[in-house]
Each structure stands twice: as structure tokens, then as C-alpha cells.
């Protein structure tokens, strides 16, 4: 049986839609989850969601998905710019991973323009608001189809 697509969100993303609408829009994390769930259902996949404000919990969940998830969507929030430990956990993932940022981190403060996570994922979607989550799920489905056609799995 094919494992779920797991959507992981880091610190402060629980606040989406509650402040800073000029940067992050007015949609909430629940809205992002609904659209990701619908995108996964189009590919006959279940989606699961996890948000934490704690780095260690985030790493534990990534470890727990080894050999389980069929794809991971990750928005590590501010930890993207600081956490080598999180980067190392993502690198050890056994499935394709797509990184999402709601805002265009490349058009913001210099300290947001580098993500340690980007080095170890299969693709990155930035600046498209919460639509990025459903697009990331679609990308994972496409990657899975390509692997199946080639009889390979990237990771
Ligand atoms: O653009 C993104 O998705 C980010 O990952 C969001 C993070 C930020 O630290 C990254 O640089 C880019 C922040 C999450 C949202 O934080 C909020 C804080 C207050 C009100 C609403 C959201």
C-alpha cells in the first residue's frame, strides 16, 4: 500500500491568516490543509498534517516518516534559515520532499533568502501563497508517477 503524503509545518505557521496579511495573505493553515488534502485525493493518496513550534518534535516526526510516507511537503518556517539539525533529518528522508514557503523569501530580508532545507529537497515552491501546498502535493504525485514509469525511486 502506498503511504500518505505528509505535510509538515514549523514554527508560527499556526498563526497564518491571523496577522501580517500583506506578507502571508488571509488564508489560514486549515485552508492550506484542505487544498492539500483535495490535491492528494486526486492522486488517490491520503494526506496527513503536522504543525509544531518545537524543533526537536519536528525532527522526531521527520524520522517517524522514514519508510512510511510516500512524499513530504515541508514548510519549516523560520527554522529553514537556521537549523542544520532539521536539514540533516530531511536529508535522511526515504521519500521525495518538496519545500514550500508561502511568501517569496527571496524578495524579503537577507536572512530569509537562504534555506538549509533547500539543499536536500527535490523541489522548492516559494511565493505562491497557500496555493504552494497543493502545488507541492501535485509535484509529489508527478514525481511518484515518473518513478513508477522508470521502475525507480529517487530516494
Ligand atoms: O513564507 C513562509 O512560508 C515562511 O516559511 C513563513 C515563516 C517565516 O519565518 C519564513 O521566513 C518564511 C513564518 C511563519 C508565519 O509567521 C507568522 C507570524 C505572525 C503572523 C502570521 C504568521
Write down the residue that cell numbers 516518516 correspond to.
65
- Residue 111 annotated among the catalytic residues of the structure: no
**What percentage of the chain carries pLDDT values higher than 70?**
97
The domain segmentation of the chain, as residue ranges, is 5-150
SS3 call for 117: helix
Tell me: the pLDDT tens digits for 128-153?
999 999 999 999 999 987 777 787 76
Q: Where are the alpha helices (DSSP H) in the chain?
A: 21-24, 29-42, 55-64, 84-91, 131-150
β-bridge mates for residue 50, sequence order: 8
Q: How far apart are alpha carbons 53 and 70 in whole angstroms?
A: 24
What is the best residue among 7, 58, 77 to mutate for testing ligand 1's pocket, by most ligand atoms within 8 Å of CB? 77
What residues contact 132, with CB distance under 8 A and at least 6 apart? 100, 101, 102, 125, 126
In angstroms, the CA 155 to CA 42 distance is 23
- Verify whether residue 24 is a known catalytic residue: yes
Q: Which 8-state DSSP code applies to residue 2? A: P
Say what the pTM is: 0.95
What pLDDT is attached to residue 148?
74
Q: Which atom of ligand 1 is nearest to the CA of 23?
A: 1
- H/E segment holding residue 100: strand 97-101
Our mutation pick for probing the ligand 1 site, out of 24, 99, 109, counting the most ligand atoms within 8 A of Cβ, is 24
At the second CATH level, the architecture of 5-150 is 3-Layer(aba) Sandwich (3.40)
pLDDT band of residue 68 (cuts 50, 70, 90) is: very high
- pLDDT given at position 155: 63
Instruction: Indicate which atom in ligand 1 lies nearest the CA of residue 103.
Output: 1
Confidence (pLDDT) at 154? 53
pLDDT at 153: 64
pLDDT digits (tens, 9 = 90+) for 5-43: 999 999 999 999 998 999 999 999 999 999 999 999 999
Amino acid at each position: 500500500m502506498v503511504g500518505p503524503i505528509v505535510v509538515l509545518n514549523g514554527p508560527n505557521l499556526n498563526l497564518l491568516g491571523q496577522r501580517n496579511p500583506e506578507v502571508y495573505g488571509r488564508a489560514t493553515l486549515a485552508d492550506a490543509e484542505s487544498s492539500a488534502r483535495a490535491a492528494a485525493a486526486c492522486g488517490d493518496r491520503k494526506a496527513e498534517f503536522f504543525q509544531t513550534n518545537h524543533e526537536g518534535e519536528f525532527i522526531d516526526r521527520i524520522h517517524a516518516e522514514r519508510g512510511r510516507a510516500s512524499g513530504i511537503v515541508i514548510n519549516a518556517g523560520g527554522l529553514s534559515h537556521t537549523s542544520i539539525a532539521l536539514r540533516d533529518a530531511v536529508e535522511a528522508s526515504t521519500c521525495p520532499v518538496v519545500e514550500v514557503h508561502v511568501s517569496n523569501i527571496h524578495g524579503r530580508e537577507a536572512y530569509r533568502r537562504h534555506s538549509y532545507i533547500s539543499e536536500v529537497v527535490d523541489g522548492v515552491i516559494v511565493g505562491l501563497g497557500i496555493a504552494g501546498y497543493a502545488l507541492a502535493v501535485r509535484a509529489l504525485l508527478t514525481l511518484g508517477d515518473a518513478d513508477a514509469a522508470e521502475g525507480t525511486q529517487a530516494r
